């Protein structure tokens, strides 16, 4: 799978090592109770098994924790020069991975730690200075360096060699069951899933309204999504297409975690989403049978890969 990872995105080993410590270090939150890994949990493909995250002082977030697998992948779609990974978060408000990793730290609902206070705390931890020196050539600890280290660790979380990869790229005829192969055909053709879930990471990187969060009684959205970033009413209720690598491990689903299982997700699309004034023209009833739905779910489970798994460090710089 190495051909899918761009050289320009190759992480620095020294920065990734430093970033790994920072990622799991609860001292990166204001009250020292949460780390990045508190919500991006390795055993759940760096997502978490609840609909919205819990931040400092028990505060609840608004959106499901997205996975971080394969954010280093070179994912330009065939026939285009557009990289679906060029924006981050459900609403695309970050345009670099470095921006993305810093935002939850300062968010008062998440880690609640203003960046100047973060720098003051970590500058007082002598054990970290050696590793900042190894990664950056001097022991200075800055916001930009913390962002670069965290981003490079995230770039090492790569998933590949899934059953689908072995079947599709490795030509291993036994890697996928007949049911999963049928589900793949439905996914790419009459199920129309690949219209949005395209490319190596199964995401077009675009923003679509599928009706999640629409209240027909009040004629309002619980979350306006991409519109909050672009200020364009056409983007109301639209959210970024999530990649599907290791999706089986990332329940519950959708930006609000409102669908509990993969079957629920496929059935939601089979019904044609949830009608609303901005519903994407790509979302239509699919007419799949229950056995078709089973087959698509079986295919989605073949996207569970390897290489990204991790465990928290036993020791941290002091």
- pTM, entire model: 0.93
Residue range 163-301, CATH number: 1.10.760.10
| Shared fold status for 2-155 and 163-301 | yes
The architecture in CATH of the region 2-155 reads Orthogonal Bundle (1.10)
In the chain, what are the domain boundaries?
2-155, 163-301
Residue 167 has a pLDDT of: 97
Q: What string of pLDDT tens digits covers the 318 residues of the chain?
A: 444 544 446 789 999 999 999 999 999 999 999 999 999 999 999 999 999 999 999 999 999 999 999 987 755 555 555 555 589 999 999 999 999 999 999 999 999 999 999 999 999 999 999 999 999 999 999 999 999 999 999 999 999 999 999 999 999 999 999 999 999 999 999 999 999 999 889 999 999 999 999 999 999 999 999 999 999 999 999 999 999 999 999 999 999 999 999 999 999 999 999 999 999 999 999 999 999 999 999 999 999 999 999 999 999 999
Per-residue HEC secondary structure of the chain comes to: CHHHECHHHCCCHHHHHHHHHHHHCHHHCCCCCCCHHHCCEHHHCCECCCCCCECHHHCECCCCCCCCCCCCECCCCCCCCCCHHHCECCCCCECCHHHHHHHHHHCCCCCCCCHHHHHHHHHCCHHHHHHHHHHHCCCCCCHHHHHHHHHHHHHCCCCECCHHHHHHCCCCCCCCCHHHHHHHHHHHCCCCHHHCCCCCCCCCCCEECCCCCEECCCCEECCCECHHHHCCHHHCCEEECCCCCCHHHCCCECCCCCECCHHHHHHHHHCCCCCCCCCCCCCCCCCCCHHHHHHHHHHHHCCCCECCCCCCCCCCCC
């Amino acid at each position: 799978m190495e051909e899918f990872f761009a050289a320009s995105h190759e992480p620095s080993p020294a920065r990734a090592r430093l970033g790994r410590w920072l990622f799991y270090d609860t001292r990166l939150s204001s009250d020292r109770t949460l780390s990045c890994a508190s919500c991006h949990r390795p055993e759940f493909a760096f997502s978490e098994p609840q609909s919205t995250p819990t931040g400092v002082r028990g505060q609840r977030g608004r959106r499901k924790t997205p996975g971080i697998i394969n954010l280093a992948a070179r994912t330009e779609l065939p026939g285009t020069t557009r990289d679906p990974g060029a924006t981050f978060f459900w609403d695309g408000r970050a345009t670099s991975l470095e921006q993305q990793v810093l935002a939850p730290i300062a968010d008062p609902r998440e880690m609640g730690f203003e960046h100047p206070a973060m720098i003051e705390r970590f500058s007082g931890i002598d054990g970290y200075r050696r590793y900042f020196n190894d990664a950056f050539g001097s022991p200075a600890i800055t916001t930009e360096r913390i962002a670069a280290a965290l981003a490079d660790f995230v770039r090492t979380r790569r998933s590949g060699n899934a059953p689908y990869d072995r079947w599709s790229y490795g030509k291993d005829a036994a890697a996928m069951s007949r049911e999963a192969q049928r589900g793949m055909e439905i996914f790419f053709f009459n199920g129309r899933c690949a219209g949005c879930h395209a490319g190596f990471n199964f995401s077009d990187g675009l923003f679509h309204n599928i009706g999640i969060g629409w209240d027909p009684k009040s004629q309002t959205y619980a979350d306006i999504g991409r519109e909050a970033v672009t200020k364009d009413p056409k983007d109301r209720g639209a959210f970024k297409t999530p990649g599907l690598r290791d999706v089986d491990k990332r329940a519950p689903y959708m930006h609000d975690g409102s669908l509990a299982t993969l079957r629920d997700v496929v059935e939601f699309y089979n019904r044609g989403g949830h009608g609303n004034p901005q519903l994407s023209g790509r979302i239509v009833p699919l007419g799949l049978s229950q056995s078709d739905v089973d087959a698509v779910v079986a295919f989605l489970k073949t996207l569970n890969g390897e290489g990204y798994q991790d465990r928290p460090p036993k020791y941290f710089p002091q």
